[in-house]
Structure formats: structure tokens, C-alpha cells
Structure 1
Amino acid sequence: MSKAKFKKKIFIIISLFIALMAIVFGINRYNEIQSYNELINAGNKYMDSGKYDEAIALYKQCLNYKQDSNIKDSINFAESLKQNKIKNSNNKKDVNSNTNNKSYSKYTSNINENNSKEQISYIFYKNERYGFSIEYPNVLKTKLESPTNGDGISMETYDSSAKFTVYGSNNVSKDTPTSIYNDLLKEHPNASYKKKVDNEVVFSWVHGDKIIYKDIVVGEGSKNTFTIEYPKDKKDYYNSVVSHLYSSFKTPHIAQSY
């Protein structure tokens, strides 16, 4: 065999080997991505069913594939929801049984801000027009100008560092959870937390030195939304607040318009 033919044969063998390795690598990479996405989806399902320990375990497995800051935020959020669930179960034992018949009620829990222990109360608010309800923290002291048609309320802290809004609106544009999710994804492609489950869409993103968290529940007749904005350097403090807002947000009448 001539040297030219031998070199050509070696070249073909090496090329085939490289091509085969590329295919194997591509298949492995595809399988890794599939496993990563499956872990995220399974973790999100556990989150929605309140099984936070299981969600945290799956999110941590995701980090073996990729050190994603969004996953780390999801773990922190799940931890906050878990702790808040424990606090709520203890606190609600002390709540008067007539609370549900009132527009406002309070119960307390402990959170930590600037490394000092502080008592915080949650105030029950129910919107008479749209029928949704939520428990917001008493650190929101100042009422901002709210709609005159009874859509909701807007509040902020004394120093205006944090703001909170909750309101209802008729779904005149026939939005769906998918359309709202896609619109928010276009506006905030780098959102640190995002999910869509059933009729609920949750997004969180950073704007300047603030973190913004938005929760929208979509129905055929109306939409109920709450948004909270707070400083990034108080993230640990407000994680507990956000998880309480999320778990206390009840939207029983979104099938109707008003």
C-alpha cells in the first residue's frame, strides 16, 4: 500500500472516530438537558403541592448539572415557603374563629431584619368587589392613592423603600396564563424566578437596586394580581414576607367579571 493511500485511510479512520465521539457527546448532552428540565418540572410540581422538602432536594440535584442562579433562588424561595408554612400552622391555632367574618385581622410571626429580632403582624385584607383576599405585613404603613372603583389597595413603608399593590381587573382582553407568561418573559428575559402552573403566573426580577415580585391569577372573567417591590439588600428579610403573601393570596371568583 502506498504512503498516500495509507495516510488517506488513517485520515478517514480518525475522521470517523471524531464524528462518532461528537455524536456520543451530543447524545449525552441532550440527555443531561432532558434530565435537568425534568428535575426542574418535578421540583415545580412539588412546590405547587406544598412539598417543599422534595422540591428543594430536586432543585439541588439540578445544581449538579448546572450552577444556575435561578435554581439557587428557587431553593431559597422554597426554604422561605417551608418556614412560613410552619409558622402559619402555629400562628393560626391562636387566631379567633370569627376572623373570617371580618375585613381585617392580625396575627404575628418573627422575622429578622438587620440582624435584630422584630415582631411583625400580618393584616388580612379582602376586596369586596373582586372577592380576593391576602395578608400583608404591617411594615406597609402608608396607603398610596388607590383606585376609586374598589379594584384594590396600594401601600408602602414609611421610608418608601418597599411598595405593595394588590388589585383585580376584568379580563376584557381574554388573557390566558400562557399569554401573560410569554409577555412577562419578553419584558424580563433574565427573570430570576418564573413559573406558570394552572391559572397562576409568578415572576420575580431585579430592577436597579430593587427586587420585584409579581403573582397573577387568571380567570375567564377577571384577573387578580399582587406586586411587591423591595430593596435587594433586604432580600433575606423580605423572602419571608413574599412567601406569606404568596401562600395567603386567595382568588375564588376569577371566573366572573365585575
Structure 2
Amino acid sequence: MDNKWGDADRPAAHHVAIIMDGNGRWAAERGLPRVEGHRQGVETVRRIVEASMELGITHLTLFSFSSENWSRPEQEIYDLFGLLRRFVRRDLAELHKNGVKIRVVGSRNGLEDDILRMLDDAVELTKNNTALNLTIAFNYGGRDEIARAAQRIAEDAKQGVLAPKDVTQDRFASYLDTAGLPDPDLLIRTSGELRLSNFLLWQLAYAEFVFVDVYWPEFTKELFEAAISEYQRRNRRFGGRSARSTA
């Protein structure tokens, strides 16, 4: 697929990560129940997945449910899981038809068996697709991911599989949930909040951040394109000297 953003003088955002924030506030400002905000948020997911394919983005990662979201009211959690079930039932076949490969990252602890089976089935069905790599961060927390990776490394060290000198940055990354995925080029967060909220703490080390002052249900393809254009105006140095500078 052609990449609209692939001009030689304009860096391509191959991997975009998004913190989809503001569903509840969107609903509250309209006097609607929070579940309606989440329902509209699902519509935005559909819109942005489609836009990503049109724009030639190869990897899209969405923060859908954090490990901290368990502190929300029980009814809201029930509603969120219900929306996930309906999204998969309604959209999985279409995503598969369009060549979307689904991956799920996050802890499996605390998830009901039918949710786990549904997620596993989606991953298995789409594992050979290549049009878009769609990663869903579900029951995910960045610190939890790093801690779980460290536990696995410690276990391998205990078993003699690893020596301390073997634990390089690349080796550590291979124990993360996102092993094998490229780090995001661009992080977008909606709702105007200016924080990471425990999302991809390792992987976002050199990503560019764009914060958009609209709620997720209001996030359009045009705003998505504007965020990517903003990214392209940045000068990424990865801790080194600017490629455009001789100083």
C-alpha cells in the first residue's frame, strides 16, 4: 500500500500509538451515561483503523483498558467489556477481510475466560494478515509489563538460561509484551491531558508526542492527519545531533 506520508523529506510515521481518552467526559458534557461515550469511542476506533490503512501506516497501537481501570465502578467495567464483546463479534470478520493482524498486549490476570478465548481467537484468525498490525493494549500497564518481563528474566537466570551480562536492552525488550514490534514513532493522546498514564513506558522512549484537545469520540480522520503532519515537522534526533544541523 502506498504511504501518503512517505516523501523523502518527510519522515513517515510507521507506528502510531494512541491513548484514547475522554469518552466519559464527552458523555457527561452531553448529559449522557458514560457507556454512551464508550460506545461512540468504539465508532472512532473503526474510523481511525480505516484511516490508518488509507494512510499507509503499518502499525497502530490502541490503549483500550488499563490495569488501573479496575478501580472504576463495576457497572462501567461491565459495560466496557460488553462493548469489547460486541466490537469483536461485529468487526472481526471485516478486519480479517481487510488484512488487519490483531495482537493483544497486557496481563491476562483477572480476565474472564470468554474474554480470553475471544481475544485469542481474534489473534489466531488474523495472525497471517499483513495490511495493518493492530495492537490492542488491554488490561495493560507499562510498569506491570516491565515487572513481568523482569520476573521472566529472573526465572531464566535462575534456570541458567541467562547470565547477567546477557541482559542487554535488546534482550530485555524481547521479554516485553511487545516483543517483535517496532517502537512507536508517534504517540497521540486525546482530551487535552498531558501525561502517559503508564502506557508503553519502555517503548515510547524516543517517540514524538502530540496532544490533541478534543475527546476521543470527536477525533476525526482530519485531526489524525493533522497529528501526523505535526509529527513530520519534528526533528527526531534519538539523543544525538540533529540530522539537519552541523553544530
- Bucket of the pairwise TM-score, normalised by the shorter protein: under 0.3
Greater share of strand residues, 1 or 2? 1
Higher RCO, 1 or 2 (CA under 8 Å, sep at least 6)?
Answer: 2
| TM-score normalised by the chain length of structure 2 | 0.25
**Bigger Rg, which one:** 1
